[in-house]
Amino acid sequence: MSNVKLAVVFYSMGGTNYQMAKWAKEGAEAAGAEVRLVKVEELAPDSVVQGNEAWKATADATKDVPVATSDDLEWADAIIFSAPTRFGNMASQMKQFLDLQGGLWASGKTVNKVVSAMTSAQNPHGGQEATILSLYTSMMHWGAIIATPGYTDPVLFGAGGNPYGTSVSVDQDGKMIEDVQDAVKHQAKRTVTVAEWVKKGNQ
């Protein structure tokens, strides 16, 4: 039985990354991890959120999900981030959450966290890889250990074959185009496995 503690930290506007985060939680729990599913704080004005049907629906669906804090990151052995692409970068909501972790970083508490990332965009070349890499750049500064899916399982090819992390294209109706559920769960299990190795080697 795994003794890995995993935080799944997501931001979602249209519900895609929330769904991916839930699949990651399922995959990690199936691997024996203890999981916290948390969302980053919304920065957009409530008037804007309420004026967009999909955004409002996601806000309502996630209203009972705890807001991520530094305590969640300190508690975790591993972290999976899931956030949509914004012009080839992570959404500003996720970026602010990372930017607020200076205290955790300065005290050395981000070192050797095992991390992995997922994203979504409206088309396959809409910055999906760049978004994940932008998040991993921050993780290098943290001294974290990045656990990518690579091509470690054939299921990844059916999901689009992104070796940096699971990514999905979303159509104009907000529906996922690729079938990424199994790829997300594989990525979560792999993250937990790498975290197990790190914990055992560090004891």
Predicted confidence (pLDDT) per residue in 129-164, tens digit: 999 999 999 999 999 999 999 999 999 998 999 999
* Res. 173 pLDDT band, cuts 50 70 90: confident
Condensed to tens digits (0 to 9), the pLDDT of residues 19-72 reads 999 999 999 999 999 999 999 999 999 999 999 999 999 999 999 999 999 999
Q: Sign of torsion, CA 20 22 23 29?
A: positive
* Res. 202 pLDDT band, cuts 50 70 90: low
> Helices 92-99 and 128-142 sit at what angle, rounded to 10 degrees?
10
Mean pLDDT over each residue of the chain, to the nearest integer? 95
Q: For residue 23, give its domain range.
A: 5-201
Q: With contact defined as beta carbons under 8 Å apart, do 190 and 196 qualify?
A: no
Phi, psi dihedrals of residue 150, rounded to the nearest 5°: 55, -135
Reading the block at residue 41, the tokens are 């704080």
* Res. 2 pLDDT band, cuts 50 70 90: low
For residue 36, give the amino acid letter.
R
Domains: count for the chain: 1
CATH number at residue 36: 3.40.50.360
Q: With contact defined as beta carbons under 8 Å apart, do 106 and 70 qualify?
A: no
What pLDDT does 107 receive?
Answer: 98
Radius of gyration of the chain (CA): 16
The answer, yes or no, to whether residue 1 has pLDDT greater than 60, is no
What pLDDT does 124 receive?
Answer: 86
CB neighbourhood size of 158 (10 A):
12
Q: What is the mean pLDDT of residues 74-99?
A: 97
Quick one: what percent of the chain has pLDDT higher than 70? 98
